[in-house]
A and B are shown apart, each in its own frame.
Chain A
Amino acid sequence: MRHLGTCLFILLLSACSNPTSKTSQYYGFSIVLPQKQDSKAHQYTHTLKVNTVKMSGTADQQGIVQRLDNNIVSVAQYHFWAENPRYMLTRSLTHTLSGQLPTWKVIDSEVPATPLNSYALSIVVDDFAGHYEVGSLISGRWFVYTYQNGSPELLVHRRFTLTEPLKENGFSPLVQALQNSWQELSKEIASELIDITQSQGGIN
């Protein structure tokens, strides 16, 4: 009888405990260390203000999103972005653009006053997810407008969809693929900006 009681007690305790507790994982884009910069001041020809990226729809999640077969959307319960993706994407974008446009002064939306005769870039991301077929998927729109004489004027409006297959199974390769796609988009925008300024004859 006593043994039975002990067994029941142990069973009770074991019911409460869960040896296979799952831990949450947090992900972020890999940080590119800043390159050695010239100490002398640059002679900037243009100013670009990068607004904070807007995440809309299913992209606005803290958990990593995957589009699965049969139109199933999975939001991860154990794999999260370490910060809200909009800040991560904005920072990465600003960093890449600064590298791609050396004669441009790239400022973010935290800068309080918008300088006169400057360009502004806004991106809206609709999809920022893994995809069961194409690997990673980023889609959305971006706009470039100028502040001429104080009022905004739309210059370019583009839609984009970028995919990249994963190199390995798992979340880390997915994050890496997303980062690559995002950098690719940033480079495309940079080249578009150069084209715009050349076609406009530049705004100083």
Chain B
Amino acid sequence: MSEHAYIESKPKFSVIWFVPIIALCVTIWMLYQHQLNKGHTVFVKMSNADGIIAGKTQVRVRSVKIGQVESLRLQLDQNAVIAKVQIDTMYEPLLTSDAKIWVVKPRIDESGISGMNTLLSGVYLELEPGTSKVKSSLFTLQDEPALIGTDIEGKRYKLKSKHAEVLDVGTGIYFRNFKIGQIESANFNIDNLAMEYGVFIFSPYDQLITNNMIFWVASGVSINLSTEGIDVSTGSLSKLIKGGISVDYPPDQAPSEIAQEQVSFTLHENFSTALEQRFDDYDFYLIEFEQSIRGLRAGAPVEYRGMRIGTVEQAPAQLKRNGQPLYFQQDSTSIPVLIRIEYGRLFERSAIAREYWQQHIEKWIRNGLRASLKSGNMLTGAIYIELDFYPDAPDARVMTSSLYPTLPSVSSGFTALSEQVTKLLNKLNDLPVNKTLDQLDGTLREYRQLAMEMNELIGSFNQSGTTNKVNENLDTIKVTLTQLTSSLRQFEKTLTHYQQDSTMVEQLTDTLEELESLSNTLKPFAKGLNEQPNMIIFNKQTPDDPEPRKK
């Protein structure tokens, strides 16, 4: 029998290796799941992390939690705080590069009080997704909540202002006191030294914005002083506090075509300025005054018999020719004033008005049309330019030798006034003063007689016993006073009686007696308690009372 070892070839791969392989797979799968569940990590840069707590502060979209602040790290070189935020995987599409993130905390603004619920729950980050296709993982925290959501329809316009006060972002835009939009951005342009506002007009009110719209700053209160009295009107409370921008069509004008988005409008200081500055079809004229123009300022009206036709542009005119002021080169001693004749004021279709003016101005001057200075306000001394016909004026015509056509003027103001005063003094001289004085003397004599008669009358009154009647009345008053005193005494007596035996006093006495009785009852108990503090729980352990003894 031959015996030889049976050599079984060892399998190259042992089954036992499946165990670590499966363990490895499970680990990898778990790690993958963990990473998957962990969500997307984004970073939010903020100037300070006031109220934000790592591991607690949530990120929400429309108040639905989409993630949480994981950690906060100080970025010293940028003076900032970087918050690491985990966003749930399913909400990853919201993280567009134009998404906005801000802190929701209690705020008080013109729209009211918001974020009060965060007083107890703590602040949270609100994310407003954008429309961009590009994804981002680094966001900057905004100081203020996004005013206009991306889903709100409307149009954006620009407003430029050189004079108006600076308005806050969020200030409302009102069309006939109804809010139709708000300021979205406010920047000061240092190139043209003007405030530039970006405004958003909500749909469907954007249909109201036409190219001929006028915008002006509406203060909360408007006071209108006219011959009919004072009219004070105020808008809504928020408008009163923060002011606002009013927008409307110019008076007597129909809306023109609807304005395109991003069209720029001018923001005027107030309604009247807005109305004045829209006359953009004008011509410059010079007027030379041979008198003082003190009180005449740029912006003063130019009127024709009370109807406004233009505005003073420069007083005096700062025009230069050949590097020298215009008035250096004149032979006369007059002061030039630059005015605008605004054709839009003559007729709403300014082209027709311009044609009419230019055709007739020469003729009018020949017929005596002259400019003169008139006092507009006695208090401030402000004056304006009035055009009128003076048939007696010396002949003149429109001078065109200067930069602009020059209109002739007549002297007015003090010169004219002095003439009038002389006339007045002459009239006064002619007045019959002596006769009037004689009449006055006669009247005084009559008054004197009247006074003497009055004196007699009063004397007769005294004799007819008026004094006695007064005395009688005094006696009656005395009696009444005595009665009053006695009544008061009785009242006092009644009061004393009442106080002694009143129900209240009785009840008080009863209560006191009851209290006294209670205190008497409690006395032995208190004494026992003093001797044996545990008397309430255990029996009284004090010794027996000594028995009274018969002698």
Q: Which A residues lie at the B interface, using CB under 8 A?
A: 16, 18, 21-22, 61-64, 66, 68, 74-80, 84, 112-113, 130, 132-135, 165-171, 173-174
B487-515 contacts to A, CB under 8 A, are 501, 506
| Residue numbers in B under 8 Å from A174 (CB-CB) | 548
B517-A84 in contact (CB<8A): yes
Looking at the assembled complex, report how far the CB atom of A30 sits from the nearest CB atom of chain B, in whole angstroms.
17
Q: From known contacts A75-B527, A77-B528, infer whether A62 and B548 are also in contact, taking CB-CB under 8 Å.
A: no
Q: From known contacts A63-B524, A75-B527, infer whether A22 and B540 are also in contact, taking CB-CB under 8 Å.
A: yes
Does B545 interact with chain A (Cβ within 8 Å)? yes
B549-A132 in contact (CB<8A): yes
Does B34 interact with chain A (Cβ within 8 Å)? no
Q: Which 9 A-B pairs have the closest CB atoms?
A: A174-B548, A76-B545, A18-B539, A130-B548, A166-B550, A21-B539, A62-B520, A77-B542, A84-B520
A170-B548 in contact (CB<8A): yes
| Residue numbers in B under 8 Å from A167 (CB-CB) | 550
Looking at the assembled complex, report how far the CB atom of B211 sits from the nearest CB atom of chain A, in whole angstroms.
97
| Residue numbers in A under 8 Å from B547 (CB-CB) | 169-171
Q: What mask results when residues 523 to 551 of chain B are scored 1 for a CB within 8 Å of chain A, else 0? A: 11001100000000011101011111111
What are 11 sample pairs from A and B whose C-beta atoms fall under 8 A apart? A18-B539, A63-B524, A64-B545, A66-B546, A75-B527, A80-B524, A134-B551, A167-B550, A169-B548, A171-B547, A173-B550
B520-A171 in contact (CB<8A): no
B545-A61 in contact (CB<8A): no
In the bound complex, CA of A74 to CA of B506 (Å): 36
CB nearest neighbor in B for A168: B550
In the bound complex, CA of A167 to CA of B516 (Å): 34
B544-A78 in contact (CB<8A): yes
Among candidates A63, A80, A171, residue contacting B548 with C-beta atoms closer than 8 Å: A171
Does B521 interact with chain A (Cβ within 8 Å)? yes
B interface size (C-beta, 8 A)? 22
A112-B501 in contact (CB<8A): yes
Q: Which B residues lie at the A interface, using CB under 8 A?
A: 501, 506, 516-517, 520-521, 523-524, 527-528, 538-540, 542, 544-551
| Residue numbers in B under 8 Å from A79 (CB-CB) | 545
| Residue numbers in B under 8 Å from A62 (CB-CB) | 520-521, 523-524
| Residue numbers in B under 8 Å from A171 (CB-CB) | 545, 547-548
Looking at the assembled complex, report how far the CB atom of B544 sits from the nearest CB atom of chain A, in whole angstroms.
7
| Residue numbers in A under 8 Å from B549 (CB-CB) | 132, 166, 169
| Residue numbers in A under 8 Å from B516 (CB-CB) | 84
| Residue numbers in A under 8 Å from B540 (CB-CB) | 22, 77
CB nearest neighbor in A for B550: A166
B545-A74 in contact (CB<8A): yes
| Residue numbers in B under 8 Å from A133 (CB-CB) | 551
Looking at the assembled complex, report how far the CB atom of A23 sits from the nearest CB atom of chain B, in whole angstroms.
10
In the bound complex, CA of A165 to CA of B548 (Å): 10
In the bound complex, CA of A62 to CA of B524 (Å): 7
| Residue numbers in B under 8 Å from A134 (CB-CB) | 551
Q: A135-B548, A171-B548 are in contact. List 6 more A-B contacts (CB 8 A).
A: A18-B539, A22-B539, A22-B544, A62-B524, A66-B548, A132-B549
In the bound complex, CA of A18 to CA of B540 (Å): 10
CB nearest neighbor in A for B537: A16
A166-B521 in contact (CB<8A): no
In the bound complex, CA of A77 to CA of B523 (Å): 11
CB nearest neighbor in A for B549: A169
In the bound complex, CA of A170 to CA of B547 (Å): 5
| Residue numbers in B under 8 Å from A74 (CB-CB) | 545-546
CB nearest neighbor in B for A15: B538
A18-B538 in contact (CB<8A): yes
Looking at the assembled complex, report how far the CB atom of B512 sits from the nearest CB atom of chain A, in whole angstroms.
13
Looking at the assembled complex, report how far the CB atom of B546 sits from the nearest CB atom of chain A, in whole angstroms.
5
CB nearest neighbor in A for B506: A112
In the bound complex, CA of A66 to CA of B546 (Å): 8
In the bound complex, CA of A166 to CA of B521 (Å): 27
Looking at the assembled complex, report how far the CB atom of A170 sits from the nearest CB atom of chain B, in whole angstroms.
6
A68-B528 in contact (CB<8A): no
B524-A165 in contact (CB<8A): no
B550-A169 in contact (CB<8A): yes
| Residue numbers in B under 8 Å from A84 (CB-CB) | 516-517, 520
In the bound complex, CA of A109 to CA of B539 (Å): 41
Looking at the assembled complex, report how far the CB atom of B454 sits from the nearest CB atom of chain A, in whole angstroms.
64
In the bound complex, CA of A79 to CA of B551 (Å): 21
